[in-house]
């Protein structure tokens, strides 16, 4: 089932949480809504679910206009960050809830409900725990029950609101992989919200990067990481360094010196240069045009050493990664050129 969000706006007491957002989600796609808190990602997810109603705009499931339908009618599987399991019910009763509350005409017989719930329990790898109560499960187990419960109603789309947000890092990684497997096996169109870029990049087919109630960029993890279309996306996704530059003569200049990078287009004037700290090549100082700076701070990050450079007396500092055994110390002068970079015109 594909989803189409058509210029949807949502206001909470006249404060716009979502500003004319349009988005298309393909059938069987796993898509991540990524953004800082307050970017409107959860609001968008809740609008798709029908837990909120849009102030303006429409939402389609396939060809069908779902905007005016209630959450019950939309038949969506929704997984909450805080699990929202029914504490007075066993795991099995939680999973079968959605089938048990159906009107008699469409409700499967008891034995069938039980069989399906047990099957889902097996899918989420919790067989044998059907008689437990939610309080007797770990966080990761609870979230798996919540997912099984959402899948039980055979939803048209699966929506997850920061599903791993309350879990510790290790469990999170496992569940991430496992969610991908489940998605590939069941083929549900899935939208999940996260503020964890690593999670989004690893898990999603496509990312929707949001900021301040707007969509900044939609694309595959490669698109968004390698070709960010705005300073916001560049600095929000992955590590980044930036520096004010001047564009002139089809070249980038810093502090009156050409830095050996061609300008991407004919634009002239003030701009910002963005690059990844690990995506640089060191050059010998004084040989050819490059960015040169003095090390002011250095720290070990995993397998590399990240140094902070002061470039030609500018107040902005940039970070680059050096091999961990690089002899650079405080005050060492280092010259480098970004291997890949983006230039964005200076924002007003």
Partner 1 sequence: MFEPDVIYDSRRLIPPEEHTRPTTERVWIRRLLIGIAVVFMAAVLVLPLVLVFTEAFRKGADTYFAAFADRQSQQAIVLTLLVAVIAVPLNLVFGIAAAWCVAKYEFWGKSFLTTLIDLPFSVSPVVSGMVYVLLFGAQSALHPLLRAYNIEIIFAVPGIVLATIFVTFPFIARELIPLMQDQGNTDEEAALSLGATGWQTFTRVTLPNIKWGLLYGVLLCNARAMGEFGAVSVVSGHIRGKTTTMPLDIEILYNEYNFTAAFAIASLLAMLALVTLVFKTILEYRFGDELAGTRRH
Which residues contribute to the site for partner 1 (CB under 8 A)? 49-51, 70-72, 75-78, 80, 82, 84-88, 97-98, 101-102, 146, 149-150, 152-153
Mapping DSSP onto H, E and C, the string for the chain reads CCEEEEEEEEEECCEEEEEEEEEEECCCCEEEEECCCCCCHHHHHHHHHCCCCCCEEEEEECCEECCCCCHHHHCEEEECCCCCCCCCCCHHHHHHHHHHCCCHHHCCCHHHHHHHHHHHHHHCCCCCCCCCCHHHCCHHHHHHHHHHHHHHCCCCEEEEECCCCCCCHHHHHHHHHHHHHHHHHHCCEEEEEECCHHHHHHHCCEEEEEECCEEEEEECHHHHHHCCCCHHHHHHCCCCEEEEEEEECCEEEECCEEEEEECCCCCCEEEEEEECCCCEEEECCCCCCCEEEEEEEEEEECCEEEEEEEECCCCCEEEEEEECCCCCCCCCEEEEEECCEEEEECCC
Tell me how far, at minimum, the Cβ of 51 lies from partner 1, in Å. 6
Question: Among residues 120 and 146, whose Cβ is nearest to partner 1?
Answer: 146
- 37 vs 88, beta carbon nearer partner 1: 88
Report the nearest approach of partner 1 to the CB of residue 117 (Å).
13
Please, which residue, 106 or 170, has the CB nearer to partner 1?
106
* Closest CB to partner 1 among residues 157, 291: 157
**Nearest CB to partner 1, comparing residues 101 and 268:** 101
Least distance from partner 1 to the Cβ atom of residue 135, Å: 10
Q: What is the closest distance, in whole angstroms, from the C-beta atom of residue 212 to partner 1 in the complex? A: 23
Nearer Cβ to partner 1 (33/150):
150
Shortest separation between residue 253's beta carbon and partner 1, angstroms: 54
Q: State the minimum distance, in angstroms, from the CB of residue 142 to partner 1.
A: 12
Q: Is the CB of residue 3 less than 8 Å from the CB of residue 74?
A: no
Closest separation in Å from C-beta 197 to partner 1:
25
Closer to partner 1 by CB, 101 or 297: give it: 101
């Amino acid at each position: 089932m594909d989803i189409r969000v058509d210029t949807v706006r949502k206001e909470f007491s006249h404060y716009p949480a979502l500003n004319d957002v349009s988005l298309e989600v393909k059938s069987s796609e796993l898509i991540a809504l990524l953004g800082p808190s307050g970017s409107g990602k959860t609001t968008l997810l809740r609008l798709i679910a029908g837990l909120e109603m849009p102030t303006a705009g429409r939402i389609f499931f396939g060809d069908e206009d779902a905007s005016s339908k209630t959450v019950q009618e939309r038949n969506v599987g929704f997984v909450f960050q805080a699990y929202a399991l029914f504490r007075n019910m066993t795991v099995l009763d939680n999973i079968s809830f959605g089938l048990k509350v159906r009107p008699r005409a469409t409700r499967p017989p008891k034995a069938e409900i039980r069989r399906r719930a047990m099957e889902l329990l097996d899918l989420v790898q919790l067989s044998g725990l059907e008689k437990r109560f939610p309080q007797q499960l770990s966080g990761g187990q609870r979230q798996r029950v919540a997912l099984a419960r959402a899948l039980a109603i055979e939803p048209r789309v699966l929506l997850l609101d920061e599903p791993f947000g309350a879990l510790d890092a290790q469990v999170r990684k496992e569940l991430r992989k496992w969610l991908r497997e489940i998605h590939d096996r069941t083929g549900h169109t899935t939208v999940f919200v996260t503020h964890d870029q690593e999670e989004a990049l690893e898990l999603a087919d496509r990312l929707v990067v949001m900021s301040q109630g707007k969509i900044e960029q939609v694309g595959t993890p490669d698109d968004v990481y390698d070709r960010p279309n705005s300073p916001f996306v560049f600095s929000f996704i992955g590590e980044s360094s930036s520096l004010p530059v001047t564009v002139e003569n089809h070249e980038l200049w810093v502090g009156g010196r050409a830095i050996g990078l061609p300008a991407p287009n004919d634009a002239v004037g003030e701009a910002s240069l963005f690059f990844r700290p690990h995506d640089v090549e060191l050059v010998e100082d004084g040989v050819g045009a490059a960015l040169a700076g003095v090390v002011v701070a250095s720290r070990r990050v995993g397998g590399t050493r990240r140094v902070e450079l002061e470039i030609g007396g500018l107040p902005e500092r940039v970070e680059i990664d050096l091999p961990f055994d690089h002899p650079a110390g405080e005050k060492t002068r280092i010259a480098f050129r970004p291997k890949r970079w983006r230039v964005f015109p200076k924002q007003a």
